[in-house]
Amino acid sequence: MIPNDFSTDGNSLHHNLGNKGSVCTIRVGSRSLPLYPLVIVGLGLLNTILLLTAIVIGIYCENNYLPSLPTFLSIGGQASEVSAPHQITVQALIVEVKQLQVMQTDAIKAQEEAQQALKKELMSHQQLKLQLEQNKTLSNNIQRQLETLHVEKATLQSDTSDTEGSCGRCLPGWFLANTTCYFHSKSTSNPLKNWHDSRADCIRRGANLTVIDSLEEQLNLHEALPRLDPSIRPWWSKPGGVWFGLSDIQSEGNWVWLNNVTLQGEGYWIPGEPNDYGQREDCAALMVMKNPRAAWFDADCQGEKEWLCEMEPN
Ligand SMILES: *[C@@H]1O[C@H](CO)[C@@H](O)[C@H](O)[C@H]1NC(C)=O
Ligand SMILES: *[C@@H]1O[C@H](CO)[C@@H](O)[C@H](O)[C@H]1NC(C)=O
Ligand SMILES: *[C@@H]1O[C@H](CO)[C@@H](O)[C@H](O)[C@H]1NC(C)=O
Ligand SMILES: *[C@@H]1O[C@H](CO)[C@@H](O)[C@H](O)[C@H]1NC(C)=O
Ligand SMILES: [Ca+2]
């Protein structure tokens, strides 16, 4: 009878508390969690009180009934009737103590589980924090790299525009104007040459005397030449001007470019030019005048001057 009572009541209570415990475990990190220690302490105290009570009653009962044991043995049925209320009380108390012990164990288990879950949460939270920091650092690094690249790009762009002006796409000693490379023989570093020798020199350099195909080219050259050599002599001084690839050697007054294309339009002659002065001026030279549209004159092809070669860029 007694063991049966123990197991049934104990189980039912265990189930109840188990459910309660699992409910609390699910709500990890909620406000209800800090109540556990109080509950456990309360249960522990109650447990102890009940245990003490049970012991006291037990001792009391034993003392009470030990002397009357012979009576109990001799009388039999009568003794059982007398002892029954006390025995039931003790048994009930023992059962209750056991139930409380089970409850306490369950509560401790639930608390441990909750603590473990909390620890796990904290760990994953910390990991996330770490990852976030790493990502921040990474994105900062990328941002810095991007800025460095922007600076490098700007530097390269300015470098490119610098080299384009000199040796980037043209040979050393040549200069780029718009899309063409030019060589200007400066009187200081090159002896002056007549038109034919100038032409030969350009060919030797893998180029030609300059053919001015458009107003843009004329303007570009006019702008570039003074910057390269501000000391270009006035056209009337001897020997002045710069040979380029235009002549009327084949037929007087019929100005033809080196590529056998006849001069289209008026050209950019200085007023009064070409005048075939002395009837021996069949080659064209250019000057850097105030007006870039009035910069050419004809001169004796045997006269020695600077010259201007042109070549497509690499
Ligand atoms: C960090 O970056 C990775 C990929 O770049 C991403 O999958 C992850 O969610 C990020 N973590 C945080 C905390 O932002
Ligand atoms: C540059 O050259 C191109 C092609 O030769 C020409 O179309 C353009 O007008 C030129 N621009 C200047 C500013 O000279
Ligand atoms: C020189 O001129 C000729 C004739 O116009 C042409 O065929 C040749 O390609 C030119 N050379 C250069 C380097 O421009
Ligand atoms: C130009 O014409 C002359 C004579 O007609 C010829 O000798 C020369 O080869 C031609 N040049 C070009 C580049 O076509
Ligand atoms: Ca040209």
Place of tokens 């197991």: 7
Architecture of domain 175-311: Roll (3.10)
Beta bridge partners of 183: 309
Residues 225, 184 contacting (CB under 8 angstroms): yes
Residue 307, pLDDT score: 95
Token code pair at residue 47? 């447990």
Q: What is the DSSP string of 114-177?
A: HHHHHHHHHHHHHHHHHHHHHHHHHHHHHHHHHHHHHHHHHHHHHHHHHHHHTTSSS-TT-EEE
Q: Residues near ligand 4 with C-beta < 6 Å?
A: 259-260
For residue 246, report the distance from its CA to the centre of ligand 4, in Å.
Answer: 13
| Ligand 4 atom nearest residue 260's Cα | 1
> Could you tell me if the CB of 223 is within 6 A of ligand 2?
no
| Ligand with minimal distance to 216 CA | 2
> Ligand 4 mean position to 261 CA, how many Å?
10
Which ligand has the shortest distance to the CA of 220? Answer: 2
3-state secondary structure at position 302: coil
Going by C-beta distance under 8 Å and a sequence separation of 6 or more, which residues neighbour residue 64?
A: 86
Q: Give the mean pLDDT of 15-19.
A: 39
Task: Answer whether 179 contacts ligand 2 (Cβ < 6 A).
Answer: yes
For 135-150, what is each residue's pLDDT tens digit?
A: 999 999 999 999 999 9
Reported in sequence order, the residue ranges of the chain that DSSP labels E, i.e. its strands, are: 175-177, 180-184, 208-209, 242-247, 256-257, 281-286, 296-300, 306-311
Q: Cα torsion at 308, 309, 310, 313 (round to 10°)?
A: -110
Say if residues 286 and 221 touch (Cβ distance below 8 Å): yes
Residue 123 alpha carbon to ligand 4 centre in Å: 89
Pair 166, 175: CB distance under 8 Å: yes
| Coil/strand/helix, residue 285 | strand
Look at residue 125 and tell me whether its pLDDT is greater than 90. Answer: yes
Write the residue with the smallest CA distance to atom 3 of ligand 3. Answer: 259
Instruction: Output phi, psi for 44, to 5 deg.
Output: -60, -45
pLDDT in the model for residue 195: 97
* Greater model confidence, 20 or 37: 37
What pLDDT shows up at residue 290? 81
Closest ligand by atom to 203 CA: 3
Q: Quick one: pLDDT band at residue 20, thresholds 50, 70, 90? A: very low
Q: Atom 5, ligand 4: which residue's CA is nearest?
A: 260
Cut 0.75: pTM above it: no
Q: Any idea which of 6-20, 36-50, 174-188, 248-262 has the lowest mean pLDDT?
A: 6-20
Output the CA 308–ligand 3 centroid distance in Å. Answer: 14
User: Quick one: pLDDT band at residue 29, thresholds 50, 70, 90?
Assistant: very low
State both tokens at 228.
């390269």
Whether 129 shows a pLDDT value over 60: the answer reads: yes
Tell me if 207 CB under 6 Å of ligand 3: yes
Q: pLDDT digits over 167-219, tens only?
A: 578 988 899 999 999 999 976 678 899 999 999 999 999 999 999 999 999 99
